Structure 1
Amino acid sequence: MPTVDENPLFDADQSTSDSSEASFTSSVDIDVSATNTPPTSVLQTVNIKSHVPVLLKLAEPNYDEWRCFFDTFLSKFGLTSHVSPLPTSIQRCDLECRIIDQCVQSWLYNSISKDVCTIVCSPHAIAYHVWDDIHTQFRYNELHRTVYLESKFRSLV
């Protein structure tokens, strides 16, 4: 079993070396800052299909599964603030915030089918509105969809 002296994470002489404590502290600082939103250059390269393997379709009852994957994805990158409250005017004027918002919006469009996209897609939209329109389409139309599916079921021979 390796001893503390053989562990590459620690210096051989920790009691006299102040630099090992400083390097340990700085590595902890890096880990803590990793919980912040990644830079926009990183976000622009993220492939949404590797994080959200479900394509949201109008005809399939997969909204809950899609939403679970997407919520997890947004939380993983610290981006839930782009879809939960309506952005403030200060956020709308911030260039980096607008770029991140466009990334989220692009991920939304790339994780839904064309029939859903025709319903929720609008020019000059922000991610919050697209997110809200998707939620409205699948949650507030449940009664309408239930009646439609029930009538379709009763017409089966």
Structure 2
Amino acid sequence: MAQPAEKAFGVTHIKSYIPLVLDMQKMNYDAWRELFETHCLSFSVSGHLDGTSVPATPQDTAWKEHDGLVKMWIYGTISPSLLDTVLKSRCTACELWVTIENLFRDNKEARAIQLENEL
């Protein structure tokens, strides 16, 4: 029987597992994050989100493959405009995860002020 981390490569339609599309306009970060973290935990790749999984060597191909897979899951569940904002070459899944978190956490206060002004 394949290990959960290896079974992760069998996930071909990430939207079947994470049906939400993360979008700055919808402000659905908390729900998206919960689904995404649960999914990664189920497939034993959550260390790629929190930074506890690190390559054994600079050439650790297996680690790079898993990290790339997690990045593809993230890219596959965010809006095109958000993808344009966060897409950068040679970042790790953890760096991408933190970038997205900072966008939404930093934006929360600005969004609250905007909504208050609209009222």
Q: Shorter-chain TM-score: what band?
A: 0.7 to 0.9
CA–CA separation in structure 2 for the residues paired with 1:91 and 1:140: 34
TM-score, normalising length from structure 1? 0.67
Q: How far off its partner does 1:64 sit?
A: 1.1
The alignment status of 1:112 with 2:58, answered yes or no, reads no
| Per-residue deviation, residues 63-110 of structure 1 (Å, max 9, x unmatched) | 111111101100110010111026545355310110111111011001
Partner of 2:21: 55
SS of the aligned residue for 2:34 comes to helix
- Structure 1 residue ranges, 4+ long, deviating more than 2 angstroms after superposition: 86-93, 148-151
TM-score, normalising length from structure 2? 0.87
Gaps (5+ residues) in structure 2?
A: none
Bigger relative contact order, structure 1 or 2 (CA pairs below 8 A, ≥6 apart): 2
Bigger-Rg structure (1/2): 1
CA–CA separation in structure 2 for the residues paired with 1:141 and 1:125: 22
Partner of 1:38: 6
In structure 2, the CA distance between the partners of 1:92 and 1:138, relative to structure 1 (3 Å rule), is farther
Contact 2:14 2:76 in 1 (8 A): yes
What is the percentage of aligned positions where both structures have the same residue?
Answer: 26
| Per-residue deviation, residues 33-79 of structure 1 (Å, max 9, x unmatched) | 74x5226xx51643211100000011002111111110110011001
Q: How far off its partner does 1:124 sit?
A: 1.4
Contact 1:92 1:98 in 2 (8 A): no
Gaps (5+ residues) in structure 1?
A: 1-29
Partner of 2:89: 123
Equivalence map 1:54-73=2 (5 Å): 54-73=20-39
SS of the aligned residue for 2:50 comes to coil
RMSD of aligned residue pairs (Cα, Å):
2.1
